[in-house]
């Protein structure tokens, strides 16, 4: 029986393709062979007749147009990438996990896809999303156990990397749609600071929160992709002090939402990090967490409803129950209530930043999800552990870190300061080594 799990290192694959040791056509064959072998069960990719022929033609075109030497080849030369199906790609329909006619959803190619193609990437295909990136799950299954959800809404993107179909995939997060699937599927997921990757050409969920991000098997892969994807990336940027980051645990009602296995894993992660030379401080925050949740969903549902005004008026019967319910919840929310919620969010952001600064925190650490992936394909799981950080627009990353009693992966969420994505990735590499038992230098 073919194993459903796979590991394709983006750094190794990109290096081999740039050097000429590997060929884009071979990378395409590897991708298509793997999709053919495991995706009939996992259903991470939107079905595409003629995928292999399209990709082989694109690989030949890339090779013919590529500069002669490895030094001239771009960062992602020949690398196959999965693209969440709310992101427009020229030549591929956008269905957004919905039953709406694709021509209704059509639009110009997304800026993020332009950047990938300019960096030499090949678009392996569209990955499955929850309907309109809300909560109604697609058919994707978890590669660690197909009876369990892969999370959502970026379900196909996380599962495709975990199953070794592609070394890099693009997703989006509104509340927990990247970090949670990364945790459930045992891969690294990176959600940059809000606005760091342009959203042009992406079907909106809630525009005040929607953020593009990416998946890879390790932090090094994320660090290779981030400069391609993000605006104004400061290559080589890191904390100049040379010290390890001070880690903050957000004690209080927020953390109490995590389940026993997630909290037990967090204790073990704290012990490993302390042993590796990191200082970990408990910081009481978000005493009003219930009100923070209410504020976010007031804004979220208002924006979801407005994003679907025209489509829902024409095609309400084609929407799935969960999406339709979210739209209907948002329609009665008035402009005054929405603006009040926006003001409360701004106050929350300022308070959270001040709490972190007062405690001397460089990174927050918390469970990436409430626990392992539920054994339920009718849900994408709870996004609550990601909610405050998405509300604040902060960069976050999920690292595979431990396993639950049933063997499913658990993730540790790292959250940085707004705009400090470069520092987050630099520090995450050292934390990754510490959690893997290979740390020798916490400041690295």
Marked catalytic residue, from 98, 126, 153, 383 = 153
Residue 193 and residue 394 in contact, taking contact as beta carbons nearer than 8 Å? yes
Confidence (pLDDT) at 66: 74
> Is residue 55 within 8 Å of 32, Cβ to Cβ?
yes
Whole-Å CA distances, 268 to 271, 297, 367: 5, 32, 12
Tokens (6 digits) for 43: 């259903």
Q: What is the pLDDT of residue 239?
A: 60
Q: Given this model, what pLDDT does residue 26 score?
A: 97
DSSP 252-273: TTTGGGS-HHHHHHHHHHHHHH
- In sequence order, what are the residues at sequence separation of 6 or more whose Cβ sits closer than 8 angstroms to the Cβ of residue 169? 81, 82, 83, 84, 127, 156, 157, 158, 160, 161, 214, 215
Stretch 61-74: mean pLDDT: 84
Annotated catalytic residue 84:
yes
Question: What's the average model confidence in pLDDT over 264-291?
Answer: 97
Whether this prediction's pTM lies above 0.85 is answered by yes
DSSP letters, 193-222, are STTSS--TTB--S-TTT-EEEEEESSHHHH
* Residue 262 pLDDT exceeds 60: yes
Cβ pair 87, 65 in contact under 8 A: no
Which residue in the list 98, 154, 160, 177 is annotated as catalytic?
177
pLDDT value of residue 437: 73
- For 59, list phi and psi in degrees, rounded to 5: -65, -40
When pLDDT is averaged across residues 243-257 and rounded to a whole number, the result is: 97
If you average pLDDT over residues 351-366, what whole number do you get? 98
For residue 1, pLDDT over 70 is answered with no
Mean model confidence pLDDT for the chain? 96
DSSP letters of 268-320? HHHHHHHHTT--EEEEE--TTHHHHHHHHHHHHHHHHHHHTHHHHHHHGGGS-
Q: pLDDT band for 241, please (50, 70, 90 cuts).
A: low
- Catalytic, 396? Answer no
| pLDDT confidence of residue 240 | 52
């Amino acid at each position: 029986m073919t194993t459903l799990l796979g590991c394709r290192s983006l750094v190794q694959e990109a290096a081999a393709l740039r050097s000429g040791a590997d060929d884009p056509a071979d990378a395409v064959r590897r991708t298509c062979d793997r999709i053919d072998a495991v995706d009939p069960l996992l259903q991470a990719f939107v079905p595409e007749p003629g995928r292999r022929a399209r990709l082989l033609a694109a690989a030949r075109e890339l090779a013919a147009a590529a500069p002669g030497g490895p030094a001239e080849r771009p960062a992602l030369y020949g690398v196959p990438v999965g693209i969440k199906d709310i992101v427009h790609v020229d030549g591929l329909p956008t269905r957004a996990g919905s039953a709406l006619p694709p021509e209704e959803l059509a639009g110009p190619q997304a800026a993020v896809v332009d950047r990938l193609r300019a960096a030499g990437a090949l678009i392996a295909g569209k990955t499955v999303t929850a309907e309109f990136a809300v909560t109604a799950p697609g058919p994707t299954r978890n590669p660690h156990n197909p009876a369990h959800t892969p999370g959502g809404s970026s379900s196909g993107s996380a599962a495709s990397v975990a199953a070794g179909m592609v070394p890099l995939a693009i997703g989006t997060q509104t509340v927990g749609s990247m970090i949670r699937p990364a945790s459930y599927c045992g891969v690294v997921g990176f959600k940059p600071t809000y606005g760091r990757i342009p959203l042009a050409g992406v079907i909106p969920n809630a525009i005040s929160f929607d953020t593009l991000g990416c998946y890879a098997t390790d932090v090094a892969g994320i660090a290779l992709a981030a400069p391609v994807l993000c605006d104004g990336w400061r290559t080589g940027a890191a904390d100049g002090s040379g010290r390890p980051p001070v880690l903050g645990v957000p004690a209080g009602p927020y953390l109490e939402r995590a389940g026993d296995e997630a909290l037990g894993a967090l204790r073990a992660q704290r012990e490993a990090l302390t042993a590796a030379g990191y200082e970990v401080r408990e910081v009481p925050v978000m005493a009003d967490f219930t009100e923070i949740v209410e504020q976010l969903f007031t804004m979220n549902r208002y924006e979801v409803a407005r994003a679907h005004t025209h489509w829902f008026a024409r095609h309400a019967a084609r929407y799935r129950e969960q999406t339709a319910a979210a739209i209907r919840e948002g329609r009665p929310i008035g402009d005054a209530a929405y603006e009040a919620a926006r003001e409360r969010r701004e106050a929350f952001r300022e308070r959270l930043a001040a709490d972190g600064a007062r405690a001397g925190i460089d990174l927050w650490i918390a469970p990436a999800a409430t626990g392992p992936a539920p054994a339920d394909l009718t849900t994408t799981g709870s996004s609550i552990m990601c909610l405050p950080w998405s509300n604040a627009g902060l960069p976050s990353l999920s690292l595979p870190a431990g396993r639950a009693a049933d063997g499913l992966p658990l993730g540790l969420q790292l959250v940085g300061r707004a705009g400090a994505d470069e520092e987050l990735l630099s520090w995450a590499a050292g934390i990754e080594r510490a959690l893997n038992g290979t740390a020798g230098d916490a400041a690295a």
